[in-house]
Chain A
Amino acid sequence: MQTADVIIVGGGIHGCSTALHLALRGLKPILIEKDYAGRHASGVNAGGVRQLMRHIAEIPLSIRSMDIWEKIQDLVEDDCGFDSHGQVLVAEDESELAPMRDRVAELNLRGFNHEELIDAKELRRLVPAVAESCPGGVVSRRDGAANPAQTTTAFRRMAERRGARIIEGVRVDTVKRDGGHWYVTAGSEVYSAPVLVNAAGAWGGKLAAMLGEPVPLEVVAPMLMITSRVPTFIKPVVILRGRKLSFKQFENGTVMIGGGYLGRAYPDTNETDLDWTQLKNNARTVWDLFPIMREATIVRAWAGIEAKMPDDIPVLGPSRKHDGLFHQFGFSLHGFQLGPGTGDTMAELIATGKTNISLEAFRPDRFETADIGDKHEH
């Protein structure tokens, strides 16, 4: 039997970040990953590092993350491919711009100033290629994008260098609690620690259910496409509000097209199917919005397996059933940016027993009442 201070299940950006931050606080974590670190959502996502349009409850975590992203090289000795050319939410017409105005005003009232309303002129300056008819939008200037596989791998590597043990290729099969300790069986080995972190991503719901704390998690397969290299024409990440689109051109000229269209997920076999009838709509939106892209070719497409909660915010923080159990999953298609700050927050919570970031909105038992609360603007 191997013992540690904390056992983390799942080697995505969240598991790896928590492992690193625990190790930095002098604790000895063991991270167990059934495939390899970054194999799933964390290694294949769109790499969007976005504070823009986040649920209000996520903003403090997102800001904490952003502070880490901006010094990511110092933390993991890798630039993670991070650039901050901003993210822009484009309004396609006046009716889309109105609610944006309201949201920015509300954020300002609450003391958040990262989102800025922009007019048609500033929009055209930031995104010259966008269709003439767009009246404006919102920009978050510190936002940007990073290389997800490179990032997750860098966190994994640094966690190991700081003393975390990373065990890949074995699945956690059973978990037992006895005398204040967790006993976790994975492969032919038993691991024991007083604290357990469920960072199992799309499989987090299964693990939570096994521990007697079920949540209504949906396993989904968001799809992405990437084009051949086209002349450089856009720096920030662009997202749409009405029609689904996220759009990012890399330094090498290739363009990533996403927006949350879903394929089919088979979490038991790690497989996904692309749904081209959906991706076709994605292509149409680009065709309409960026005439310059009409000649581009799609060279690759893929989908990742991701967890989605009914209210699109994660299950995060202490269990309501067991001492020594913490959940960190269900990031609902936008958890990559949150990885660094959430790992830091979890490590703080585990090491010191508290954190000044409110995790109330993320309670695992919030779904037990029929009323889920206000669905956030998205």
Chain B
Amino acid sequence: MFKRATNHQEPAVQITVDGLPVTARRGDTVSAAILTAGCVEPYRYTAVNGTPRAPYCMMGVCFDCLVTIDGIGNRQGCLIPVSDGMVITRQNGKREIES
């Protein structure tokens, strides 16, 4: 959904999202990295009705950016900076709960 406006100099950071390798930049938040990667859509499914969602506010207000980071669920991806080797899993909402 997003692309980089400049060829900036920040070092690359390697993470995985649902097992796929994604290259982010130092200073990116987890949500920014996922929105730029493009390979993972939708960003998540809701726990209530299982509808697709993506980050809405990017400032910690809406909780539509929830992801599992290194095994810990329900984290606000828009507030957490990426770090090398981070393992991110998308939350599949309703399906996960009813499993």
Contacts and interface: CB of A to CB of B under 8 A. Distances in A.
Interface of A: 228-232, 252-253, 295-297
Given A229-B47, A231-B96, A252-B97, 15 more contacts: A228-B47, A228-B73, A228-B74, A230-B97, A231-B97, A231-B98, A232-B97, A232-B98, A252-B47, A252-B48, A253-B97, A295-B71, A295-B73, A296-B73, A297-B73
Contacts, number: 23
Given A229-B47, A252-B48, A253-B47, A297 B74 contact: yes
Contacts of B73: 228, 295-297
Contacts of B47: 228-229, 252-253
Nearest to A231: B97
Interface of B: 47-48, 71-74, 96-99
Chain A at the B interface: SS class = loop
Contacts of B71: 295
11 contacts: A228-B47, A228-B74, A230-B97, A231-B96, A231-B98, A232-B97, A232-B98, A252-B47, A253-B47, A297-B73, A297-B74
Nearest to B97: A253
Contacts of A296: 73
A296 to B, nearest CB: 8
B77 to A, nearest CB: 14
Nearest to B46: A229
A308 to B, nearest CB: 35
B16 to A, nearest CB: 19
